Amino acid sequence: MKKIVLKLAILGVVVIFAQQRSFGQDSTKTKKWFIGYETLEMSMNRFQYFAGEIGYRINPKNQLRLVIGEVKLTEAHLANSWQSMGVDGPNVDGYFRVYELNYDRFFGKNKNWYWSINAGYKNDRYNYLLGPNKIDNHTATAGFGFGYQKMNLFKVKHLYINFSLPFRYYFHSIPEQKWGDTKILVHKYVNNIWFFIGYNF
């Protein structure tokens, strides 16, 4: 899996430099790096560890982002059906790791809305608090997504937000399992809701 992630990162760098050359001098005003902290998933899990993104706006219509997450999942979060669709019931906590490269294509008058494609690596871990049951699943992923990004929010220079809804396919899925009164649901097609706040420069 680490080799796949490394290849994706190298591919991303190559695409950035290729796009720089192809768009030439006319795109210099739109080239922006940005870095953001994910607030939604983190707040639901007591801000344990880290989730964020780093990206590059190639021109008004195209950008690349790398999403990185190392999040400890609380029992309260996983037991809440409004917050988590991976577990149905209490007495399970966990952890996830994600490295995901996204290509975003903007549309609309102000170029704030985008569709995207993604590829990456995901590690999901679940622990049953009342017994020995555990899951430690590693998989490559691929998918698509939608989002909304606004730079210079409220006319505050460099402040940005990014609302992102990625969907991904697990090449190595997790089958449904029942642990006491709790179910670990099938992980085959999985989505997140990300809300990043950050700085563009």
Render pLDDT for 86-145 as a digit per residue (tens, 0 to 9): 999 999 999 999 999 999 999 999 899 999 999 999 999 999 999 999 999 999 999 999
78: amino acid identity, one letter: L
Length of the chain equals 201
Task: Say which residues have a Cβ less than 8 Å from residue 137's Cβ, sequence separation at least 6.
Answer: 122, 123, 124, 125, 170, 172, 174, 187
Maximal CA-CA distance, the chain: 62
Look at residue 155 in the predicted model and tell me its pLDDT.
86
Between CA 101 and CA 103 the distance in angstroms is: 7
Q: Residue 31: which pLDDT band, with cuts at 50, 70 and 90?
A: low
The per-residue DSSP string of 99-139 comes to EEEEEEEEESTTS-EEEEEEEEEEEEEEEETTSS-EEEEEE
Domain boundaries, the chain: 2-200
Look at residue 16 in the predicted model and tell me its pLDDT.
40
Q: Residue 85: which pLDDT band, with cuts at 50, 70 and 90?
A: confident
Element at 152 (helix H, strand E): none
Residue 83 CA to its chain's centroid (Å): 16
DSSP bridge partners of 92: 128
| % the chain with pLDDT above 70 | 85
Look at residue 189 in the predicted model and tell me its pLDDT.
96
CATH architecture type of domain 2-200: Beta Barrel (2.40)
Look at residue 30 in the predicted model and tell me its pLDDT.
53
